[in-house]
Amino acid sequence: MLRSSNPILSKQDAFTPAAPQYNQNPYNQTPASYPQYPGSPQAPVGSLEGRMTFDDVVTKTAVTMGVLIIAAALAWRFVPDALYFPALIGSGLLGFILVMVVSFRHKVSPGLVLLYAGLEGIFIGMISKVFESLYDGIVVQAVIGTFAAAAVTLAAYKFFNIRVTPKFRKVVIIATISFAVALLINFVLSLFGVNLGLVDGGTGAVSMLAVVFSLIGATLAVLNLVLDFDYIEQGVAMGAPASESWRGAFGLTVTMVWLYIEILRLLSYIRR
């Protein structure tokens, strides 16, 4: 069974290949003698949905990221300052809830994927506006850094023929969960006025602990991209249903958002 540390791609039956269908061509080719319409007695049974392909994942990821970017731009431009905190907190919480909902659904709904992209876009737009007001030009730097890191990771994965071993996957999963738990503890304690120093939200001198923690977060996000690339590649090879390309696109979007936030924070520390 395929596994990933990404909460969207970790569902056990996400990329389970469809069972072989009666009279199905093993190479997924349709002879010219097959009439091309539903219900034909000669058409291969169960081939209407098709199989997941890399092109499907790339296209749907582009659509999802496009919705996110548009929502971020609109939030940046039109959300008034008085509604900044409600929009930031509300979109962040709803986005997290949607991640959980999608991860437990047997079949991914494209509508939920796009809704998540819109909500996360509002969150990204709000937090980016704050950072940009403090550090001019930092958002452009973070965007370039995020896509550059993803491109380099993908290139390294393909050209260096990186193979994800069970041990590597286990280490990344444990490290990712530990990182998330540490962030949660830091957030809860901050509500009571206690700051562990893992996230520095001030404008003065930044602590070395916050810098190291941000570097760890960015590194883990990149490693999760490697797991996601491997997971999607295996899903395509195993013949996952075409609808699962939305799950792959969703998972990549979640990881890219995480990577962007970590790079944004890291750049703010450097700028200070």
pLDDT tens digits for range 206-224: 778 888 999 999 999 999 9
Work out the burial of residue 41: count CB atoms within 10 Å of its CB; fewer than 13 is exposed, 13-18 middle, 19 or more buried. Answer: exposed
Task: Report CA dihedral (77, 82, 87, 90) to the nearest 10 degrees.
Answer: 180
Does the pLDDT value for residue 205 go beyond 90?
Answer: no
- pLDDT (average), residues 18-32: 41
CA 257 from chain center: how many Å? 6
Q: d(Cα 48, Cα 127) in Å, to the nearest integer?
A: 43
Q: What is the pLDDT of residues 160-172, one digit of tens each?
A: 888 888 899 999 9
pLDDT reported for residue 106: 80
- pLDDT (average), residues 239-265: 90
pLDDT reported for residue 9: 54
pLDDT reported for residue 49: 60
Does the pLDDT value for residue 51 go beyond 60?
Answer: yes
Q: Which of 254, 239, 221, 257 shows the shortest CA–CA distance to 56?
A: 239
pLDDT reported for residue 14: 46
Task: Mean pLDDT check: name the lowest of 48-52, 106-110, 111-115.
Answer: 48-52
Does the pLDDT value for residue 149 go beyond 80?
Answer: yes
pLDDT reported for residue 102: 86
In a 13 Å sphere around the CA of 262, the CA atoms on its Cβ side amount to 25
Quote the percentage of the chain above a pLDDT of 70.
80
Q: d(Cα 52, Cα 232) in Å, to the nearest integer?
A: 9
What H or E segment, with its residue span, contains residue 219?
Answer: helix 208-237
Angle, vertex CA 5, rays to CA 3 and CA 10, nearest 5:
50
Are 247 and 8 a contacting pair, CB within 8 Å?
A: yes
